[in-house]
Each structure stands twice: as structure tokens, then as C-alpha cells.
Structure 1
Amino acid sequence: KELEKSQEDSAGPIPPPQTLPPPPPPPTKKKGQKPGKKDSLVEKPIAPAEPAEPVLCGSMAIGAVSLAVAKTSAILGSNPLYLNIAFLKHGQEQSSTLTVPLIMASVVSCGKSSPGKLNLMKEVICIPHPGLTTKQGMEMLLEIQKQINKTLEVPPPPKAENKKGHNGNKRGQQSLTGRMSHLGCLTLSCDTVEQPLLLLQGVCANLELELGTHLHLAINCAGHELMDYSKGKYEVLTGTHKSAAEMVDLYVELVNKNPSIIALIDPFRKEDSEQWDSLYNALGSRCYIIAGKASKSISKLLEHGNISIPRSHALIITHTNQTTVSDLVEITNLIDSTKHIAILGSTDGESCDDSLVDLAVGLGVRFIKLGGLSRGERVTKYNRLLTIEEELVQNGTLAAGAAAGELPGLLEPIFPTEVVEQSAQS
């Protein structure tokens, strides 16, 4: 008992229970604020990225064997590959003439991997006027590339000092610098959306070319690379993020200011289907909306028979993995039947094989996207395109201007060439 008593004495008095503070008063409504209205709109959360489509192990061998069989058949029949592909697609209904697809050539790159702040323009692409031959268009693009190189070699003029010292202790505008990318074009260090477009405008002015007349522009936005999932927004410039809805306004403003832009490639992720619809409705009458990486694989497109998601004018198809030549014929027939535009594109890790060009001519696609005019694996394909055009001219089987589509009418030749002289003599 004495031990219990001593423990009670050492414990001391029991403290009274603590009272919780009263809850804070409800926030007062602002003047004129309607009941139920919030101060700021809550942004809709973005859809998570779809899981990548599984690739069959060793599937590249399937596509390679299919192409090898097609090439062997052409050799045994003493026919060029593009003619065999055309017979495979059209059968007995094969037309007596073939068209050469329009070139989509990358001239500069300002994407996510570029050293500057600008991320939006993975590829700025030039499309020569359809009234020009392939040779004329390539000569024009080579002149543009040379002029860009000269512009980058010229050092910027020195900046005058002001009262605050050098440039007012503020960061001055960076000079454009470039290095060759795997895409076959120069990667520029740009900090604004306008910089690469102004560069091309100046280059064309020096060459007495007019954007929107002699050539047109396309922008590969690579929207899937711009998404910052931690913020749920697209990082257009380093540190500058925009929601999917804001991106629609950005593209509309960009095309309004630069009407020579006639195509936007992958402006969004494929998951942002609502914004694809909005952009199509806003710009669809004057600008191609093109799905590249945003489109499903060819095998999935053929399986579902639906190429309308995301909503676009055109699809970029590639010969890769398990895609066979027969698959390419089927998908181009599906694209043609739905009044879409087929574009045959090269992959990033492209080989020096030039069969891709024969596939493009034989399949009758509207455009061919081969990257820039540099690097051997891309130059080989451009040379093959020139060779095919020359063969068609000599055989009298080239359909002149048949691939013009919605682009403006024919122009006088800019760079006279032997190809034009031969066609005039015939």
C-alpha cells in the first residue's frame, strides 16, 4: 500500500483535457460572385499515356524478307522495283503513268534535344512547289541549305553598351548556331518560335524566293516528346508550359502569322483526341493536320480498319518491324478509300537501302518524308528519287503535276535543268 501511495504522489495531478480550437470561419464571398462559382477554373487532368504497342521479337526479319522477295521478283522480271509495286497495288488496272511524290525535306531542327530553349519544332520542313520537278525542287533546297550555312557562319554584330553596362546586365539575344543532326539537317539553338521562321524568310529573300509561292513549310511538332507529365502540360519552350487547349490557340496563331505553313505533324499526343478535333475544325481548311507517331502501327490500323483517330488529313506510314509490302499496299488502299493522304516516311535509324523510294512511287503516295539533304543514308534515297524521275521522263510515263492536290497551280521553273529540257523536247 505504501508503494502504491508513493506512485500516486509522484504522478501528480492529472491535466485537464485540451479543448480543440474552433474551426475557421467560412471564406467570405466576393462582391458580385455567384453562388457555387469558384475563383479559378480547375484544369481537366490529362489522360495518361497509352502503353506502348508490343513489338514482336525478331519482327524486323518479317519486313526485311517481304522486301527481299519483292526485290527478287523485280530482278527476275527485269523490272524496276517501283513498277512491280505498282502492279501489286493496281493489278490489271495499272495506269500508263506514274507520279513522283512531293518532297518533304527537313531544313532545320529545333526540338527537345536542341541546345536552345525552343522545343516545339523538331523539324522545319520545306515542300517545293508541285509545279517543279524533283530535280528543280532539290536544287532549290540545296541552295537554301547553303544559304543557311553561310548565315550561321557570319558572326552577329557587336551590341552597344548602355548605362547599366554590358547589355544592361541582361541576357542578350543568342546568335544562331547549328550542328548536323541524325535527321540530316542542322540543329539550331533557338530561344523563340519566330527565330527559325525568320531565318528561312531571310534566306528565301536572299535567293529571291517567296514562302508560300515557290515553296511551303511544314512543322513536325513531335507533341508526344513535349509533354511534361509532372505538370500535365506541353513544354513549348524550356520553362514555358501550355495546356492542350492553349496549344490549339498557339497553333492557330502560328498559322495565321505564317500562312506559308501548310502542314502540322503530330501537334499533340494521340491521347488528346479532343484537341485534335478542335485543331482540325480551326485549321483544317488551310493546313494539313498529319498524324505520324500519334497514329497506331500499320498492323493495328489494318486490324481495326479505322484511321480516323486521331482526326487528321494524312498519315505517315513507315516500313518497319513486321510490316510487309502487302501491308503497305493494304494500308494505302485504306487511306485512299477514306480520302486521306498517304505519306511514306523514313525511320530515325535509317539504312542506306534506297528501296523506300521505289515503294513510295509504286504505292502512289502523295508525299515522301526522307529528312534532310545530308548524311549518306538520306542522300542515297534522294538520288534514287532523281533517278526514277529521269527514267519516267525518258519513258514518257511521268504524270506531270498529278500530285499537286490542294496546293497552288503550276509555276514557271526556277532552276532550269536537263530534265526539263528533255521533257520539252519530247
Structure 2
Amino acid sequence: MYITSYIYDESFAIKDIKARMILDSRGNPTVQVKTVTEGLGVGIANAPSGASTGVHEAVEVRDGGKEFKGKGVSRAVENVNKVISPALIGLDSRRQQLIDRKMIEIDGTPNKSRLGGNAIVATSLSVAKAAASTMGLPLYAYLGGYVADTLPVPMLNIINGGVHAGNKLDFQEFMIVPAGFTSFREAIKAAVEVYFDLKKILKERYGPQAINVGDEGGYAPPIEKVRDALDILIQAIKAAGYDPWNQVVIALDVASSQFYREDKGVYVLEGSEYTRDQLIEFYEKLVSEYPIVSIEDPLQEEDFEGFAEITKRLGSKVLIVGDDLFTTNPARFRKGVDSKAGNAILVKVNQVGTLSETLEVVKMAFTNGYKAIISHRSGETEDTSIADISVGVGAGLIKTGAPARGERTAKYNRLLEIEEELDNPRYPGFSVFLRKP
């Protein structure tokens, strides 16, 4: 990926690009793109889709109308087959930046709303996978070369709230983080065991309806209080035989824009109104009481000043992660870096819309001392590209849901496979965080 000069090789030339409609994990249509090179390298990639979306994300093109309740993607598929494909045929598939830039130029909008972020991202990823296939390399090795040896620490969303669930829990995700282990396999084993014990505890306490799962495979029990959810997580970790301070710890995705009331300038959490400063104080108490290592989107998505303040107050203890704040957008992330807002960024390829822009954001993060967390979306498919990307860029962290539902476990299974393929795989554990809680 980081080759600066190319020796022409016809086998890498793009021979065909074809898109079609498939269904994602929510039953909604999405775009799949297949790229084939002259050397018969094949890359297939699917566009994911978010539920909690930032206003600055690349825009999906949907059909509207009656079919699929307006969620159809025939226009996006047609944009690939009739506009993007003819423009890219014959280009060297290794020239990712050139290819992505060409799609952006054809689109001509600041948010990819003409061709569709869903059309562009699936094409971008499929081209990279086709180039890797032509070279005879897995995607992670194509992206990272011989230094791609670090497996990510998984952040597994096992209690769902917010827009991911039908309960009254305001925070969107309560995650377990198996950081106190020496291999990815050991970490996943611990996570699965905690997940099973959580299921048992929830069923006993709330009944069988409590073990229904949300979009990302986490349970959506009838819990209303943040502390109640955290207490149950601690109970499940201990029940599985693990130490909640030294082996399996906790991360939060607050998605606070969802309960921010712009007209009043307050957050409505658990029925009470909080000012920004009061909400930061609430987080400070949680961090002092629970083994929390990361808080994502603690404040609403336009509050760079507030993010800088919470980073000043909590940034030496936990990761303050910008998702809706940054939307994997280089310009917004630069603004955040300059204002010292947060110390980590959630990286979603479809938020910015191309692989090369994603890699630019990851590079910017590392250059400025930020952590980069590679992430799925709530609407996913069996595509495992993000597993390879996480290893290829050496991110050290990945968010891809609970250890349940095929579209989530596909990523974990791919990471297990990569760990087996590597001669000397490295699992960073707590070293990827600022400290042990």
C-alpha cells in the first residue's frame, strides 16, 4: 500500500468491477462489489451501515419509494456498474489513492452523496482486496507488510442500550475488554465465557426476554440505570472466574448526542438534566468506581471544547474516543487534534468512504499520539475486511460487537485465523491503554 513507485505489471490492471445488492444483518439491502484483475485476482467487499450516524459521515445512496421500505440500493449498484466501473477499468489496482481520488472527483460532492458512500466504500475495499489477491497476499500483509504482526484487543459490546436496543438504557454500549491476556485466542475465550455467564445472570434476574440480543449481538435487558448495567458486568466477569480490574475490564460507548437536547443545551440522562460539566463529573465518578478504560462519545458531536475539557480531566486515565465527533473525517480530526479534543479516534471505513482516506486518518492518529480503534457498524455483513485492516495498520484495538451473530463472529474468526498464520503474533493487552484501571 505504501509503494511510492510502481513497475507496470498488466496482471494488476482492473479487468472488471461489478456491484450487486445483498442483505445486511438487519435485513436491509446493501452494496457488494466484486473486482477482478487481469491476473485473476479477486476482491469482494460489502458496504456496512450505521444506526448511530454522525452528521458529517459519507452519505449512503438509497432508493426511497416502497421497495424495501425505501432502503433499496439499486441506484448505488447502478452507480458502480455504469459510472465507477468504466472509469476504473484498466487502472493499476495497487494505486489505491489514485483510484479513490478518481471516485471522489467523479462524485463531486463533499460527502459522497452523488454516487453514494455505500457504492464508493465497497468499491474501494474490493479493489484493495483484488490487488492483494493478485499479489498472493492476505489483505493485512498487503497493507502492513512484514511488520503487520499485532492482533487487536477486542472491545465487545455485550449490553446494548440507546438506539441499538429497545430498552430504557441511555448509554448505547457496555463493552468488556479482555486486556489481561497474552494472546487473542485467550482473550476471546475469556470474552465468550463472560458473555455466557452474563446471559445466565440476566435470565435469572429479568426472565427470558432479557436475553434477546440487539443489532450487535449484545443483550438488551430491561435495565434503566448505567450503574446497574456496570454492576451486572462486574458480576458476570467474576462469575466467569476473571478479575474485573486485571483481566477483563470495561469500555463505554455513550453516544451522548442521542440524549442531548440542543434546544436546552443539556443532556437528559436517566430522567435528569445534566449540564456539560455535570456530565463530566458523572464520568469522573464512574471511572473512580469501575474498571473503565475507554469512554466513547461522552459529549455531543459538535462539542470540541467539551471534548478538550474532559480529555484534560480524564485523559490520563482513560481513552476519550471520538466517533460522531470525528466521523473518520481528516478535516474534523485535524480540528480535534489542534484543540486537544480526545485522545483516541474510532475508525470506520464507511464513515469517510474510502480505504486511502481511512489510512490517512490512522496515520494522522499515530503521528499525533492518538489511539486508533478499528470499528464495525451496527448493520454488518460477513465481510471481514476490518479484521485485516486492524492488523495491517497495527491499530491494537477493534470494536466489532458481541461474540455472537455470524456477521460479528466472522471478524473474530478471521482474527483467530490471522493469529495462527503469523510466525510471532503479538497481543498488546493493557499496553494499548493509558494504564490499568
| Fold agreement, TM-score > 0.5 | yes
**Residue 65 (str. 1) matches residue 123 (str. 2):** yes
Counterpart selection for 1:228 from 239, 250, 261: 261
How far apart in 2 are the matches of 1:222 and 1:322? 19
Letter in 2 for 1:316: L
Aligned in 2, Cα 1:278/1:109: closer, same or farther, shift over 3 Å?
same
**Per-residue deviation, 1:309:** 4.8
Unaligned runs of 5+ in 2: 1-53, 58-110
Q: Contact between 2:327 and 2:352, CA under 8 Å: does it hold in 1?
A: no
How far apart in 2 are the matches of 1:186 and 1:134? 23
How far apart in 1 are the matches of 2:430 and 2:289? 27
Quick one: higher RCO (CA 8 Å, sep 6+), 1 or 2? 1
After superposition, give the CA deviation of every residue in 1:125-146 in whole Å (9 maximum; x if it has no partner): 1111253311111111111111
**Per-residue deviation, 1:299:** 4.9
**Residue 317 (str. 1) matches residue 347 (str. 2):** yes
4+ aligned runs moved over 6 Å, structure 1: none
Alignment map for 1:248-327 (pairs within 5 Å): 248-258=280-290, 260-301=291-332, 307-309=337-339, 311-320=341-350, 323-327=353-357
Query: Would you tell me which structure has more helix in proportion to its own residues?
Result: 2
**Residue 104 (str. 1) matches residue 155 (str. 2):** yes
Q: Contact between 1:114 and 1:189, CA under 8 Å: does it hold in 2?
A: no
**Residue 190 (str. 1) matches residue 190 (str. 2):** no
Q: Contact between 1:124 and 1:218, CA under 8 Å: does it hold in 2?
A: yes
After superposition, give the CA deviation of every residue in 1:132-190 in whole Å (9 maximum; x if it has no partner): 3111111111111111111122257xxxxxxxxxxxxxxxxx99934210011111211
Letter in 2 for 1:252: E
Unaligned runs of 5+ in 1: 1-49, 88-93, 157-173, 410-426
Letter in 1 for 2:256: G
Name the counterpart of 1:382: 412
**Per-residue deviation, 1:312:** 0.6
**Residue 212 (str. 1) matches residue 274 (str. 2):** no
**Per-residue deviation, 1:69:** 1.6
Q: Contact between 1:178 and 1:189, CA under 8 Å: does it hold in 2?
A: no
Normalised by the length of structure 2, the TM-score is 0.69
Total equivalences in the alignment = 329
How far apart in 2 are the matches of 1:199 and 1:73? 46
Counterpart selection for 1:350 from 380, 387, 397: 380
Normalised by the length of structure 1, the TM-score is 0.71
Three-state SS of the structure 2 residue aligned to 1:216 is strand
Name the counterpart of 1:23: none
After superposition, give the CA deviation of every residue in 1:236-277 in whole Å (9 maximum; x if it has no partner): 11x32211121011111111111x101110000132233222
Letter in 1 for 2:226: V
After superposition, give the CA deviation of every residue in 1:95-114 in whole Å (9 maximum; x if it has no partner): 3x611111111111132564
Q: Contact between 1:190 and 1:196, CA under 8 Å: does it hold in 2?
A: yes
**Per-residue deviation, 1:321:** 5.9
How far apart in 1 are the matches of 2:426 and 2:236? 31
Q: Contact between 1:63 and 1:324, CA under 8 Å: does it hold in 2?
A: yes
Three-state SS of the structure 1 residue aligned to 2:373 is strand
Percent of aligned pairs sharing the same letter: 24
Letter in 2 for 1:249: E
How far apart in 2 are the matches of 1:214 and 1:322? 34
How far apart in 1 are the matches of 2:235 and 2:115? 48
How far apart in 2 are the matches of 1:131 and 1:113? 29
After superposition, give the CA deviation of every residue in 1:51-80 in whole Å (9 maximum; x if it has no partner): 656442223222222211211111111111
Q: Contact between 2:373 and 2:395, CA under 8 Å: does it hold in 1?
A: yes
